[in-house]
Amino acid sequence: MTTTAPIPNGLPMERDAGPFDPPREISRLREARPVSPMLFPDGHEGWLVTGYDELRQLMADTRFSSRQDIGVLHVPYEIPGMPEMTEPAPQTPGLFISMDPPDHTRLRRKLTGAFTVKRMKQLEAHIADIVERQLDEMARLAPPVDLVKEFALSVPSLVICEMLGVPYADREEFQVNSAKFLIRDQSLDEKMVAYNAMTAYLAELVTNKRATPGEDLLSDLARDEDLSIAELIGMAFLLLFAGHETTANMLALGTFALLEHPEQLAELRADPELLPGAVEELMRYLSVVDILFRYATEDIELGGETISRGSTVVVSQLAANHDPRRFDNPDTLDIHRDARGHLSLGHGVHQCLGQQLARVEMRAGFAGLLRRFPTLQLAIPAGEVRLRTDMTIYGVHELPVSWTESAS
């Protein structure tokens, strides 16, 4: 493997190739050295993985740990107020996305039954109803409106609140706090305030559910005496957070991408059967979660390089999903391509637990929006749409849209 490729100093993040493509530097690195050393702002030399095969191999290998409590995990961008990491971070109980087997397996297993394809099929009609109600409300507004606020954020929030048994009226509390949590350079203090507010809220909620359980997923978990209150809080936090920010950004950025590809949008409107394939392609093309971290627990060979024990490894799913060795013309949105095998939902033991729910939400969401708003258009020039390059989940901050006739 060549050693002449540039070594990035921190993670290249500027979307200089357009709102939907990987940063140019990331694409260049993927071609030159798909497993590349990277300098972190704290001086640590870790790794950046951008190739499809390499990323898939890494995610399937549990020697690349998701834990934060076994070694020092370095952050590839500046966080104001963040002291230099010299110690591993303590493990948060219940937060199984940051655990390895067998701890991870024990907790994830408690949820798999609630997220099966069959369960999600049963929810389909209900989710379509939620979408319709939200579109009714949007149709009553005078355009331009912000699609993020009026539609993309509210649909997944309503769905996950109902599923978990979190009162939707409390959404301000967790939406505002989880958004703060996602701002990359939000100071550590602010992040902690937001995190503490969310966990205090959830502590009260799960304690009440343990005392008087109802008919919802958090109550089902609360009935399980094997789970401590601290674990219930961590699991609730993960589900609530993962359950709305991800899908919301897919719906909003996906709409932006479709509006920028009017021919494909027209095809989708004419033939909704194309939607399931289009949703997979949008997930590949947009890769909103993009950056994930792993920690090497031993020296590991990957892509012809040796990743030494103790290194932080950063992966770019966006880069891998745009790898021309795996997808032809990867920087082109093509709703007809077979995009299965994309890595946007992760791979290996941590592969997204809520993926079927996300698919049902996205199919219903795009189908409803396109049908009800046949003249939907951007209300500002595309170049003025505020991109979430400052957030750890990509998307748009707002998507001002308008339409020319009332939606029926």
339 CB-near residues (< 8 Å, 6+ apart): 277, 280, 281, 283, 284, 285, 327
Helix (H, G, I), strand (E, B) or coil at 32: helix
- Choosing from 131, 253, 320, 353, the residue that interacts with ligand HEM (CB under 6 A) is 353
- Choosing from 289, 296, 364, 401, the residue that interacts with ligand HEM (CB under 6 A) is 289
**7: DSSP letter:** -
Neighbour tally for 33: CB within 10 Å: 22
Q: Show the tokens assigned to 272.
A: 């909704």
- Choosing from 34, 71, 346, 368, the residue that interacts with ligand HEM (CB under 6 A) is 346
96 binds ligand HEM (CB under 6 A): yes
Binding span for ligand HEM by CB under 6 A among 146-154, 304-312, 338-346, 369-377: 338-346
CA–CA dist 276, 286 (Å, integer): 15
CA–CA dist 128, 111 (Å, integer): 23
Task: Label residue 213 exposed, middle or buried (CB < 10 Å: 0-12, 13-18, 19+).
Answer: middle
Point out which residues pair with 47 in neighbouring strands: 37, 313
Among all chains, which residue has been given the structure tokens 């002449």? 4
Element (H, E) at 45: strand 45-49
Binding mask 98-117 for ligand HEM (x = CB under 6 A): ----------x---------
Binding mask 48-87 for ligand HEM (x = CB under 6 A): ------------------x---------------------
Neighbour tally for 171: CB within 10 Å: 18
225 CB-near residues (< 8 Å, 6+ apart): none
Among all chains, which residue has been given the structure tokens 């299965």? 340
Q: Which is nearer to ligand HEM, 343 or 403 (CB)?
A: 343
Q: Which is nearer to ligand HEM, 332 or 355 (CB)?
A: 355
Q: How near is the Cβ of 163 to ligand HEM at its closest, in Å?
A: 8
Q: How near is the Cβ of 354 to ligand HEM at its closest, in Å?
A: 2
Point out which residues pair with 145 in neighbouring strands: 401
Nearest-Å Rg of the Cα atoms of the chain is: 21
Q: Which is nearer to ligand HEM, 147 or 242 (CB)?
A: 242
135 binds ligand HEM (CB under 6 A): no
344 binds ligand HEM (CB under 6 A): yes
44 binds ligand HEM (CB under 6 A): no
Element (H, E) at 306: strand 305-307
243 binds ligand HEM (CB under 6 A): yes
Within residues 290-319, the interface with ligand HEM by CB under 6 A covers: 292
205 binds ligand HEM (CB under 6 A): no
357 binds ligand HEM (CB under 6 A): yes
Nearest residue (beta carbon) to ligand HEM: 354
Q: Which is nearer to ligand HEM, 396 or 403 (CB)?
A: 396
120 binds ligand HEM (CB under 6 A): no
What counts of helices (H) and strands (E) characterise the chain? 14, 10
Interacting residues toward ligand HEM by CB under 6 A = 66, 96-97, 108, 238-239, 242-243, 246-247, 250, 288-289, 292, 344-346, 350, 352-354, 357-358
